[in-house]
């Protein structure tokens, strides 16, 4: 039976959103988590070595992959604020490119060899940076707009199956412990629940209401439910 299950690769599978993806998908999919730390809920873990160069991390990861994956989901990411006037802006950009852009590049690169026909790639962008300028969080903005550009380029399907779909989720605030700590007075009910995001993505992966190739979906929370708003 195992071989008939659909297969998901979750990049960032030990993060706040990644853990929910693994939980929700593992119910009926074979799930491989790729991250710096193990997620014991995944069927298989590929642990990256942070001390390696990123090209080498990706090559090590590829050596542990087998067959084809029906969904390759990149839900890794991180945040830092600060404007261009800060002397640390360069380090912050390098850091957030590593946290936000490079895992998505890894997803795209792996997809060129390992994505199944009619497969789904999901990348994680950011609603705030898609719609407007955000000079107060410049490093984050650059890493996310580069990610949006990556998504558009991947969606040309020059390098992945012509039957596949690239979709980018654009969360506003995700309801994670670190976001609650950072914004203790916010109305958490308006934040996107990670399990609800995962359920939406699983539905897409299973072919229900799958977005058009190249779409960007702002994740709105309406009465506790995630409603994608395509932009």
Q: Which residues bind a copy of itself (CB under 8 A)?
A: 53-55, 58-59, 83-91, 93-94, 97, 101-102, 105-106, 108-109, 112-113, 129, 133-136, 138, 141-143, 145-146, 148-150, 152-156, 158-159
Distance, CA of 16 to CA of 175 (rounded, Å):
9
Nearer to a copy of itself, 149 or 189 (CB): 149
Nearer to a copy of itself, 153 or 189 (CB): 153
Structure tokens that stand for 120 in this block: 């789904």
3-state secondary structure of 59: helix
Describe the crossing of helices 194-205 and 16-26 by its angle, rounded to 10 degrees: 50
Describe the crossing of helices 138-154 and 102-114 by its angle, rounded to 10 degrees: 10
Distance, CA of 168 to CA of 203 (rounded, Å):
15
**Looking up tokens 């490079």, which residue turns up?**
102
Q: What are phi and psi for residue 135, nearest 5 degrees?
A: -65, -20
Least separation in angstroms between CB 5 and a copy of itself: 27
Q: Is residue 173 within 8 Å of residue 179, measured between CB atoms?
A: yes
Nearer to a copy of itself, 53 or 184 (CB): 53
3-state helix, strand, coil split of the chain in percent (to 5) is: 40, 25, 35
Nearer to a copy of itself, 24 or 142 (CB): 142
Distance, CA of 143 to CA of 109 (rounded, Å):
18
Distance, CA of 167 to CA of 89 (rounded, Å):
29
Give the CA angle between residues 33, 104, 76 to the nearest 5°. Answer: 50
By annotation, the residues acting in catalysis are 140
**Looking up tokens 């950072």, which residue turns up?**
182
Least separation in angstroms between CB 138 and a copy of itself: 6
Nearer to a copy of itself, 85 or 209 (CB): 85
């Amino acid at each position: 039976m195992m071989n008939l299950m659909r297969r998901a690769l979750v990049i960032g599978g030990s993060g706040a959103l990644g853990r929910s993806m693994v939980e929700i998908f593992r119910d009926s999919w074979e799930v491989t988590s790729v991250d710096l730390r193990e997620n014991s809920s995944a069927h298989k873990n590929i642990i990256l070595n942070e001390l390696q160069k990123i090209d080498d991390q990706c090559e090590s990861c590829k050596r542990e992959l087998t067959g084809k994956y029906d969904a390759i989901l990149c839900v890794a990411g991180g945040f830092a604020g600060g404007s261009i006037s800060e002397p640390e802006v360069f380090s912050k950009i390098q850091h957030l490119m590593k946290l936000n852009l490079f895992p998505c590049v890894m997803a795209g690169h792996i997809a060129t060899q390992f994505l199944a026909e009619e497969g789904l790639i999901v990348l994680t962008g950011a609603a705030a940076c898609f719609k407007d300028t955000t000079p107060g969080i410049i490093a984050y903005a650059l890493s996310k707009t580069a990610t949006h550009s990556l998504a558009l380029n991947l969606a040309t399907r020059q390098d992945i199956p012509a039957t596949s779909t690239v979709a980018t989720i654009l969360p506003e605030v995700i309801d994670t412990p670190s976001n609650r700590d950072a914004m203790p007075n916010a109305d958490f009910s308006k934040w996107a629940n990670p399990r609800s995001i995962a359920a939406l993505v699983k539905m897409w992966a299973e072919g229900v209401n799958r977005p058009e190739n190249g779409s960007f979906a702002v994740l709105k929370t309406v009465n506790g439910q995630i409603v994608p708003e395509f932009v």
